[in-house]
Structure 1
């Protein structure tokens, strides 16, 4: 069977029962190498910032939790008017990172304008080496397959702007970026190890206790307050910043909602992996056209990952949830 036929068969699995097991049978080494080669060319043709029009499904971190991705697609796939924007962190920690990323890359190949995949901080060699995806890839396939994914990750776009209003990014804003046009000048085709604008886009977090920018527990990035977030949005004629990157109890959260400011709901966090590291959190996705509609995914108990040696203390879980 040709790789094109395999890709078509994979897409036809969406909505069917036992999709994961059926998918696994189709993910041969040859197919995965072809998939990465093909989708890399598609990503390479996309700019750092994608300007999109339409009605969208917005999806936060998935972290290898295939059942959560399956639930989202079951609810939304049949509506051909919907486009999908995934905010990054597709792999690591969950047991089915290979299946998650392979399905998403296949959908991107088959429907390049309908599926938008942004880069998260886990889409790089360092994070996937330390948090499970490399080991999973080699165990299920080979080091060649892993290396092909790592190369593809370097080509993922960084941001998307929906209907000229919604700024989508994995992490947050950067103190080094004032205007959107500055993002277009970033050389994204690399792994990100050092502090700077691209690192912040993938790693930064909002913090209601900070006025402007502050030090981050995540390392060489910053936390940002409501003030710089609103300044960035207003200077670029944007309405809201939608990001992922943090596990939140209900799957979505306005991190500044307790501020006594009319702009407190202009930053939104989405997280789409339920029961993340046994946290028993719900997940969510959003549907956006003229306003945000949130759809909850009540937590389903995740299979424990033998790849992770996690301490069960609350402190350790908090640290792991924050990476």
Structure 2
């Protein structure tokens, strides 16, 4: 039987308090996760496959359960609701804190629905999470129950597949598809299902750019495609775009710019898998003071800066958090269920948490 849920703001603030003000963070009870997921699914039903967003906005790449590095992102980029965020997927697996990471993002999306935007990555999948960590983590943290895994993976089916920013930038998790030449084709996809093995939906979450080719080529990942310069140029021209922004690939320096800024990869999980030693970044898009008609045959040559981004854009690069370094050597993957006390305070716990903290500041085909 379907139970109608309503979640008061004070309850969402209390969930944020449990996740932010305790070390280790207190994981939310199963029935709370169920309630949060049910409410967010209802809201996401009204969200199109491609969300029309506006700058200023900060774009975040893969997080992969690195909860403390997610907190670091909010420290550098600014805390909601003061900063708009677009997350490009891959919230779970690999890291020790997938439960806490996705729980925080769900609560933030419900608390600040016009400030936090989430799209789907290839790891937002029942099949992938069964094999790469999230399923096992839920079993460990919820006393052998898979209910929380079921609630959250069901929610993944409702996540949008991409976003446009100022009508000129297309953002998705992976890349382009030989089955898709127009954004309108993505808008008509039935996304309310597990990610299929092939087709437009699969390619959006699995594909990668390759500067050595011009057209499409089968991906070494076993799903999706590699796409080259000609494909990128044609897609942008046909859809009146200036740029593709995506995540999905580990970058040693935290980001990569292809084809004079025509395609950007943003990677937001520093020291990935607690062993790669890579930097991470978020992409801050402050404004859109460029037009696609100003592009020349080389893309946007002459307009990109030394980071390979367009005017009004900036990669904010950061290192792994101190907690990431601790987890690298000791591993802290099991927190267990924590009891919660009654608290109905009105203050914005998320913002106050970060106001008290001081400021700090090779591509691989990982699955």
User: Normalising by structure 1, what TM-score?
Assistant: 0.87
Task: State the shift of 1:299 in Å.
Answer: 3.0
Find the partner of 1:10 among 7, 15, 25: 15
1:12: how far off? 5.4
Between the aligned partners of 1:214 and 1:51, the Cα distance in structure 2 is 30
**Superposed, which structure 2 residues align to 1:170-189 within 5 Å?**
170-189=173-192
Residue 303 of structure 1 is matched in structure 2 by 327
Identify the structure with bigger relative contact order (alpha carbons < 8 Å, sequence gap 6+).
2
Residue 147 of structure 2 corresponds to 144
What SS does the aligned partner of 1:50 have? strand
Tell me which residue corresponds to 1:221: 224
Residue correspondence of structure 1 range 23-42 to structure 2 within 5 A: 23-24=25-26, 27-42=28-43
In structure 2, the residue matched to 1:130 is: 131
Residue of structure 1 equivalent to 2:119: 118
Taking the TM superposition and a 5 Å limit, the aligned residue runs for 1:206-217 are 206-217=209-220
Q: Does the 8 Å contact 2:207/2:223 carry over to 1?
A: no
Change (3 A) 1:198 1:20: farther
User: 1:20/1:196 Cα in 2 relative to 1: closer, same or farther (>3 Å)?
Assistant: farther
Q: Measure the CA separation in 2 of the matches of 1:306 and 1:130.
A: 19
Give the Å deviation of 1:82.
2.4
Distance 1:122 1:78 in 2: 25
* Contact persistence 1:286–1:295 (CA under 8 A): yes
Match of 2:284 in 1: 287
Unaligned runs of 5+ in 2: 1-5, 288-311, 334-362
Q: Distance in 2 between matches of 1:268 and 1:77?
A: 22
Following superposition, the deviation at residue 177 of structure 1 comes to: 0.7
Q: Does 1:199 align with 2:223?
A: no
Alpha carbon RMSD of aligned pairs, Å? 2.1
TM superposition shift of 1:199: 0.5
* 1:62 aligned partner: 63
Q: TM-score, normalised by structure 2?
A: 0.77
The C-alpha deviation readout for 1:184-222, integer Å capped at 9, x for no partner, is 110101112321111000000001111101111111321
Q: Please list every run of 5 or more consecutive structure 1 residues that lacks an aligned counterpart in the other structure.
A: 257-262, 308-317
Deviations 1:152-191 (A, max 9, x none): 0000000000111111100001111111111011010111
